[in-house]
Structure 1
């Protein structure tokens, strides 16, 4: 189904040895794991197929905190040694950003004591909290969307709207790949990708771990507003893709790009069209009909499209998800 089946095993290699052993005992198949959260002195939490569980004391998954396996401070240090290949100094720049991207494209968020100097983060010490976000590339998950955003020999400016953890980044990643590669029915586009948090291309030592297509150029670790302007000047993109626009600078840069005749695909956190209209940053772009397509993801349904709207806010696609949600944990041991 996607390449993450092959590289998800790499996530285990950065877990503390005891936790690694227990996760292996719990899952027959690791594919459904989305996040693993480690907090010193607190239970290890796994987000699996959209649901949150504690890892049990004797392996298995549980909702009972009294039966949960707690992570020690020494295990956090052990995990950091694996994550940084025993050389935290080499990752100081990434630590200042609050995360490290490891082989396979998986992103590890870190939190601890911030060392502040001259108005900026100098370093981070006493790291006690880790959030391992497993990279999933769901090939073909955006195929049904593509016809709705095509316009003549180009695409409509498109905004993906989604609550957290509903798959908007995964969807955007696949849209970039399909538009970049093209197929027998449509040509491929030159796509510039501003990957501020290394989640789209998931570059590791400069090489993207995810497939973003043969005509995509990636600015890795670059702030969105600055990156959009750089791509316009240097890479002659036909489309620019960014994840999670939210600041006034982001919106202004997106507007500038559109006015240059370059199409934009972006994502934003939101619940519905009303929510987006009321956001101070995006409200003006909605009012100006800067985006001609709005794709709303279904809350609680990872990667599922609820509705697609045009620039006037009229519904042009609607899917009925009034079905019981699959919460099965087949192939998973219970605590």
Structure 2
């Protein structure tokens, strides 16, 4: 049975859509977004701005979608892409093929269009049809519970945080990194920030933190463990085989992890082969599921020990579906 914790994490006073997003957009859409911000309540915020070529733009407010009147032309979409890539789509082609770009303040931009595929691998994206600007949220207390859990168990292992998409795992990791790397007894904290989403807001000069930005996770993990002598490694959205092997190797060197993964519940989490591999290596001694009822609501944590997670595997006959 999971232990349930509520840490009272509330959304901080909302900010406007970042200027580096606004300046990319056509004037008529900027004005429409300005009017939309004026209409929503202080307890709400625009979470996403989605522009579509030849179709109406939309915004996501507190989980709900609102269609706008502005329609983006092909010329405007191409212009936005050029601005996003500082005039060189080629320099950002690898990220674009993976479906995202990241702005300097942690805004992730989802990218989709017509894909060129070779041998099952996307080698190019043409005629971009949609850009989704995800606006980072700020919660004042989120991550406090996870920081406390890690501090109490780090000699035994790490913490794996899981949830469905868009619950706030990256926001949580950012706050956890800040807490562990500050205070009277800061830890040497290494953040593997492959997509450049965690580092924003971690620029204080008083943080004992090293950020490996843009590194593939396996490479960043090895550097953090072997050359930076990290006391804790933090990374987002783990799951493939190379990442799992690198995590096990670092854990064998005595470096604990705080990481996140996508999963709706602990059973579906433990069905993933690479997570099962990490479980069998006892990399994580706590599994923490996060949820919240709506935007601005308290974070809720469901905490399972390694033993409790192992019992769930046994009760399912130890069968792991290859998903």
Is the counterpart of residue 220 in structure 1 residue 213 in structure 2?
yes
TM-score by length of 1: 0.76
TM-score by length of 2: 0.79
CA contact (8 A) 1:3 1:136 kept: no
Is the counterpart of residue 296 in structure 1 residue 297 in structure 2?
no
Is the counterpart of residue 13 in structure 1 residue 28 in structure 2?
no
State the distance in 1 between where 2:104 and 2:278 align: 37
Q: What is residue 247 of structure 1 aligned with on the other side?
A: 240
Change beyond 3 A, Cα 1:140–1:6:
farther
CA contact (8 A) 2:153 2:285 kept: no
State the distance in 1 between where 2:77 and 2:90 align: 17
Change beyond 3 A, Cα 1:86–1:20:
farther
CA-based RMSD of the aligned residues comes to: 2.9
Change beyond 3 A, Cα 1:153–1:231:
closer
State the distance in 2 between where 1:235 and 1:271 align: 34
Superposition pairs for residues 110-129 of structure 1, below 5 Å? 110-114=111-115, 123-129=124-130
Is the counterpart of residue 210 in structure 1 residue 198 in structure 2?
no
Q: What is residue 195 of structure 2 aligned with on the other side?
A: 197
Is the counterpart of residue 268 in structure 1 residue 261 in structure 2?
yes
Superposition pairs for residues 1-335 of structure 1, below 5 Å? 5=15, 8-28=18-38, 32-55=45-68, 57=69, 69-88=70-89, 91-92=92-93, 94-114=95-115, 123-151=124-152, 156-181=157-182, 183-184=183-184, 187-201=185-199, 209-211=200-202, 214-298=207-291, 300-301=293-294, 304-313=299-308
Cα offset for 1:270? 0.6
Cα offset for 1:288? 4.5
State the distance in 2 between where 1:26 and 1:7 align: 11
State the distance in 2 between where 1:242 and 1:4 align: 26
Cα offset for 1:119? 9.0
Q: What is residue 5 of structure 2 aligned with on the other side?
A: none
CA contact (8 A) 1:225 1:249 kept: yes
Worse-matched range after superposition: 189-198 or 122-131: 122-131
State the distance in 1 between where 2:112 and 2:154 align: 46
State the distance in 1 between where 2:252 and 2:203 align: 25
Instruction: Encode CA deviations 1:77-108: one digit per residue, 9 max, x unaligned.
Output: 23224323445455455445543322423122
Instruction: Encode CA deviations 1:227-283: one digit per residue, 9 max, x unaligned.
Output: 211222221111111101111111111111111100101000011111122111112
Cα offset for 1:285? 2.5
State the distance in 2 between where 1:141 and 1:212 align: 18
State the distance in 2 between where 1:176 and 1:154 align: 18
Change beyond 3 A, Cα 1:94–1:290:
closer
State the distance in 1 between where 2:294 and 2:217 align: 27
State the distance in 2 between where 1:93 and 1:281 align: 24
Instruction: Encode CA deviations 1:151-187: one digit per residue, 9 max, x unaligned.
Output: 3785840000100100011101110111011x24xx1
CA contact (8 A) 1:16 1:78 kept: no
State the distance in 2 between where 1:285 and 1:86 align: 41
Gaps of 5+ in 1: 58-68, 202-208, 315-335
CA contact (8 A) 2:160 2:288 kept: yes
Cα offset for 1:54? 1.7
CA contact (8 A) 1:114 1:124 kept: yes
